């Protein structure tokens, strides 16, 4: 690996570190601003709540007696039947989902995604239990919430196989509310309707609370890959990562097309083609909670369509896996919840969308083994990039054949490194050698490496796919668990990560032996070996599919280098061509001219600077 290649890899490292720092800084600033607003609102809310419950706090405690029961019976006689009752559970399911609804509130309390299991082999519940609410606040009885009403369910199956459940609550005096859910026979997208009879409202606040359950191997990694996404009607979209022991606030004035709560491989999203109104969202994660990855607490305005005595509102509810093809099929950009590249690396998502993912699905159409697909993808990518690889090795070969002349220049210039650099540039220009010839071709390959870095940990197709000792290619493989954490490394040993590191070191060693070294810069000899060791700590917790891809890519790189250098690189012919170039008129690029001018200016500046002399007292 020559100096230009090292510069390329170093540039990648600097970009990654800079992106991580910038992203962390921006997230911190945003969180602090929202936290201040949330604290102020919380204080006001607590004060209002305290004022409303103050009289009850000083009331004497009474023992429940038969008289109380009589009073309750008398009170119920004056209230609609939907104000009291006993909660029951009803089920609505199709080929892909099984949803359990509570008749109190008429919302699903459990969502089971069929065809998938948790990491421990149990049925995969995206959410389940108390704290999962979808309710509307009605402009009736001082803001009555549908979560406090008892509904009467009626189920039916449509001719096309769609299943519908109609929850109805009679509020008396000609007022009624219906919440209707329709689940297609073979889809993750449920249609929802709110129908108000005898109740007038331009919009109703919709409260949506979700507790995302732990379903994957590593809770920490699952939290790092849990985000809140939204997309406005004007196409603006954004996401926010939920981190442990943090609370974040999202305020959006709408109109919002959809709003999604994404876990690593499964999501829940509300969609309104007409647009939701104002949305206020709080989302959080608790480090001590071992069952809930994160919580989503949202309040969204749901516009109502006027219709005389009856007003309606319709929206859709996606509950299912983050399968790219499935999300893309809805044609509303839900596939954005599969992170394929973001921040300063957002450009690589287009490589994934239009090249890598189509290639994967093409191969999976007639190959069932994931590992074979990854290997074929790697071979194909290597073949496509072989032109750039060849140009990089050709540049290294030119450097090798120029080494004797460079050694003569170095001896002639002595310790004057600036003079040597100028003479080196003149020599390169005279023989037609581009000093960046080995770096630039490799830079064209970096977007592919970055695209894979984002794709593999997010692609649900790798989830729970086995390979040798790796039980799940979507998470790290472990051949040894320490039981304690080693800083900058982790609490386990990933064998695929070690193989990736070993193959990277071998590639670096192979390249070093094929590339002339600069004796004035001995650190360049060790830089190619330091970078893989640093990456080992980062990739130790990455998806096994990713570390396998990099390992196999390194093996192919070695084979490719051997073939190119053995059969396509003729150093004698290259040397003859370089000598022949000396007789041709030299053409200087603007960049080379600028670089030479800068070197001359530095040399002149060095001559005019006063020399420092140390005087002994």
436 and 306 in a single domain? The answer is no
Given a cut of 70, is residue 339 above it in pLDDT? yes
d(CA 110, CA 87): 15
Q: Give CA–CA dist 49/55, Å, rounded.
A: 11
The answer to the question of residue 359 being in a domain is yes
* Nearest to 321, CA basis, from 435, 417, 462: 462
Answer yes or no: is 474 within a domain. Answer: yes
Residue 40, in any domain of the structure:
no
Query: Is residue 332 scored above 70 in pLDDT?
Result: yes
Query: How far apart are alpha carbons 231 and 346 in whole angstroms?
Result: 17
DSSP state, residue 202: S
- Residue 585 is classified by DSSP as P
How many angstroms separate the CA atoms of 298 and 570, rounded?
66
Q: Is the pLDDT of residue 119 over 70?
A: yes
Strand partners, 261: 228, 268
User: Residue range 553-581: average pLDDT?
Assistant: 82
pLDDT at 269: 94
432 falls within a domain: yes
User: d(Cα 581, Cα 574) in Å, to the nearest integer?
Assistant: 11
Task: Label residue 200 by pLDDT band (50, 70, 90).
Answer: confident
Q: How far apart are CA 23 and CA 26, in angstroms?
A: 5
Q: Quick: pLDDT tens for 205-257.
A: 999 999 999 999 988 888 888 888 989 888 888 888 877 777 777 788 778 99
Asked if residue 482 and residue 520 are part of one domain, the reply reads yes
Rounded to the nearest 5°, which phi and psi values hold at 29? Answer: -60, -45
Q: Is residue 328 domain-shared with residue 364, that is, in the same domain?
A: no
Q: What is the spatial distance between Cα 438 and Cα 436, in angstroms, rounded to a whole number?
A: 5
- Asked if omega into 346 is within 30° of 0 (cis), the reply is no
Express each pLDDT in 440-495 by its tens digit: 656 777 888 889 989 998 899 999 999 999 999 999 999 998 888 888 888 889 99
One DSSP character per residue, 468-507 reads TTBS-TTS---SEEEEEEETTTEEEE-HHHHHHHHHHHHH
Number of neighbouring beta carbons within 10 Å of residue 345:
17
DSSP reduced 3-state for 368: coil
Range of the domain at 209: 84-338
Could you tell me which residues come within 8 angstroms of residue 463 by beta carbon, excluding any fewer than 6 positions away? 265, 472, 473, 474
3-state DSSP assignment of residue 601: helix
What percent of the chain is modeled with pLDDT above 90? 35
CB-CB contact of 392 with 5 (8 Å): yes
The total number of residues written for the chain in this structure: 617
pLDDT at 122 over 90: yes
Q: Do 444 and 528 belong together in one domain?
A: yes
**Residue 188: CB atoms within 10 Å:** 24
User: Are 479 and 509 part of one and the same domain?
Assistant: yes
- Residue 65 main-chain phi, psi, to 5 deg: -130, 175
pLDDT at residue 370 in the model: 92
Mean of the pLDDT values across residues 376-397? 84
The answer to whether 446 and 341 are in contact (CB under 8 A) is no
Mean pLDDT computed over 139-153: 89
pLDDT score recorded for residue 578 = 76
405/546 same-domain check: yes
Q: 160-169, 241-250, 269-278, 486-495: which has the minimum mean pLDDT?
A: 241-250
Average model confidence (pLDDT) across the chain: 80
Within this chain, do residues 286 and 357 fall inside the same structural domain, yes or no? no
Across residues 342-361, what is the average pLDDT? 89
- pLDDT band at residue 62, thresholds of 50, 70 and 90? very low
With respect to residue 319, please indicate whether it lies within any of the assigned structural domains: yes
Whether pTM exceeds 0.85: no
Residues 371-403 as b or e (16 or more Cβ within 10 Å = b): bebbbbbbeebbeebeeebbbbbbbbbbbbbbe
Considering the domain architecture, whether residues 267 and 384 belong to the same structural domain is answered as no
Q: Which residues contact 458 (CB under 8 A, 6 or more apart)?
A: 225, 264, 322, 338, 339, 340
* pLDDT at 435 (0 to 100): 67
How far is residue 497's CA from residue 543's CA, in Å, rounded to a whole number?
10
Distance, in Å, from the CA atom of 303 to the CA atom of 276, rounded to the nearest integer, reads: 7
In this predicted model, what pLDDT tens digit does every residue of 28-37 receive, in sequence order?
Answer: 554 445 444 4
Q: Does 356 share its domain with 497? A: yes
Which string of DSSP letters, residue by residue, matches 438-459?
TTHHHHHHHHHHHHHHHHTTT-
In 353-470 the beta strands, taken as DSSP E runs, fall at: none
Q: Is 70 left (phi over 0), alpha (psi -120 to 50) or beta?
A: alpha
- Residue 154, pLDDT score: 94
| For residue 42, pLDDT beyond 80 | no
Helix axis angle for 3-57 and 527-539, nearest 10°, is 30
Instruction: Report the CATH number that the domain containing residue 237 is assigned in CATH.
Output: 2.70.98.90
Q: What is the mean pLDDT of residues 549-576?
A: 84
Q: How far, in Å, CA of 596 to CA of 418, rounded?
A: 11
Per-residue pLDDT for 164 more than 80? yes
In terms of domains, do 331 and 467 share one?
Answer: no
Looking at per-residue confidence, does 341 or 513 come out higher? 341
* 562 has pLDDT over 80: yes
92, 67, 96: which is closest to 187 by C-alpha? 96
510 falls within a domain: yes
Rounded to 5 degrees, φ, ψ at 486 are -100, 120
Check residues 184 and 420 and name the one with the higher pLDDT: 184
Residue 30 lies in a domain: no
Q: 43 vs 196, which has greater pLDDT?
A: 196
Q: What is the mean pLDDT of residues 112-122?
A: 93
When pLDDT is cut at 50, 70 and 90, the band that residue 60 belongs to is very low
Residue 314 and residue 383 share a domain: no
pLDDT > 70? residue 498:
yes
Mean pLDDT throughout 298-302?
Answer: 91
Mean pLDDT of 181-197: 94
Q: Which of 550, 494, 28 is nearest to 218 (CA)?
A: 494
Token digits of residue 319: 């509950």
Domain count, the chain: 2
| 332 and 353 within one domain | no
CA 607, CA 180: separation in Å to the nearest integer?
85
Average pLDDT over residues 133-157: 90
Distance from C-alpha of 524 to C-alpha of 486, rounded to nearest angstrom: 29
* Lowest pLDDT segment from 265-279, 301-315, 505-519: 505-519
492 inside domain: yes
Contact 294, 223 (CB under 8 A): yes
Angle between helices 544-567 and 440-455 (to 10 degrees): 160
Q: Alpha carbon of 178 to those of 137, 153, 174, 455: distances in Å?
A: 13, 10, 13, 43
pLDDT by residue (tens digit) across 500-531?
Answer: 999 988 888 877 766 655 555 555 666 777 88
């Amino acid at each position: 690996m020559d100096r230009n290649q090292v510069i390329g890899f170093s540039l990648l490292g600097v970009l990654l570190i800079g992106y991580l720092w910038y992203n962390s800084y921006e997230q911190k600033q945003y969180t602090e601003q929202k936290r201040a607003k949330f604290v102020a609102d919380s204080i006001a809310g607590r004060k209002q709540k305290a004022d409303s419950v103050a009289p009850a706090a000083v009331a004497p405690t009474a023992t429940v007696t038969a008289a109380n029961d009589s009073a309750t019976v008398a009170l119920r006689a004056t209230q609609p039947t939907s104000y009291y009752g006993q909660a029951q559970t009803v089920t609505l399911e199709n080929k892909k989902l099984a949803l359990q609804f509570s008749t109190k509130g008429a919302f699903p309390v459990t969502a089971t995604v069929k065809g998938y299991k948790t990491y421990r082999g149990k049925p995969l519940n995206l959410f389940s239990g108390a704290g999962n609410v979808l309710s509307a606040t009605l402009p009736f009885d001082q803001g009555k919430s549908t979560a406090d009403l008892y509904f009467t369910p009626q189920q039916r199956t449509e001719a096309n196989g769609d299943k519908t459940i109609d929850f109805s609550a009679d509020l008396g005096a000609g007022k009624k509310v219906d919440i209707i859910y329709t689940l297609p026979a073979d889809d993750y997208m449920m249609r929802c309707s709110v129908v108000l009879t005898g109740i007038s409202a331009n919009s109703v606040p919709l409260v949506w609370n979700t507790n995302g359950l732990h379903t994957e191997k590593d809770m920490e990694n699952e939290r790092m890959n849990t985000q809140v996404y939204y997309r406005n009607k004007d196409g603006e979209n954004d996401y926010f990562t939920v981190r442990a022991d943090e609370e974040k606030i999202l305020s959006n004035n709408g109109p919002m097309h959809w709003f999604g709560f994404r876990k690593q491989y499964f999501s829940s999203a509300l969609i309104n083609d007409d647009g939701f109104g104002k949305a206020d969202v709080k989302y959080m994660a608790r480090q001590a909670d071992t069952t809930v990855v994160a919580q989503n607490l949202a309040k969204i305005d749901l516009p109502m369509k006027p219709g005389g005595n009856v007003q309606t509102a319709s929206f859709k509810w996606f509950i299912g896996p983050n399968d790219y093809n499935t999300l893309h099929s809805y044609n509303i950009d839900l596939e954005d919840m599969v992170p394929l590249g973001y921040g300063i690396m957002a450009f690589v998502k287009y490589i994934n969308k239009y090249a890598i993912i189509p290639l994967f699905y093409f191969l999976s159409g007639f190959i069932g083994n994931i590992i074979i697909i990854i290997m074929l993808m790697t071979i194909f990518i290597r073949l496509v990039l072989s032109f750039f690889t060849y140009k990089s090795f050709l540049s290294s070969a030119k450097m090798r054949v120029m080494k004797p002349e460079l050694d003569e220049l170095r001896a002639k210039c002595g310790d004057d490194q600036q003079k040597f650099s100028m003479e080196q540039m003149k020599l390169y220009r005279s023989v037609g050698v581009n000093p960046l010839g080995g770096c630039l071709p490799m830079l064209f390959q970096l977007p592919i490496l970055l695209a894979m870095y984002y794709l593999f940990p997010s692609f649900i197709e790798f989830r729970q796919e086995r390979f040798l000792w790796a039980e799940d290619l979507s998470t790290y493989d472990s051949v040894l668990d320490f039981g304690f954490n080693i800083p900058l490394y982790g609490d386990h040993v990933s064998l695929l990560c070690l193989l990736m590191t070993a193959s990277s070191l071998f590639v670096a060693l192979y390249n070093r032996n094929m590339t002339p070294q600069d004796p004035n810069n001995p650190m360049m000899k060790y830089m190619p070996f330091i970078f893989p060791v640093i990456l080992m700590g980062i990739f130790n917790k990455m998806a096994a599919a990713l570390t396998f891809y990099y390992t196999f890519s390194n093996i192919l790189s070695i084979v490719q280098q051997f073939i190119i250098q053995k059969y396509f690189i003729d150093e004698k012919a290259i040397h003859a061509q370089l000598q022949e170039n000396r007789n041709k008129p030299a053409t200087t690029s603007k960049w080379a001219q600028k670089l030479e001018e800068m070197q001359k200016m530095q040399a002149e500046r060095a001559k005019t600077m006063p020399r420092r002399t140390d005087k002994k007292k």
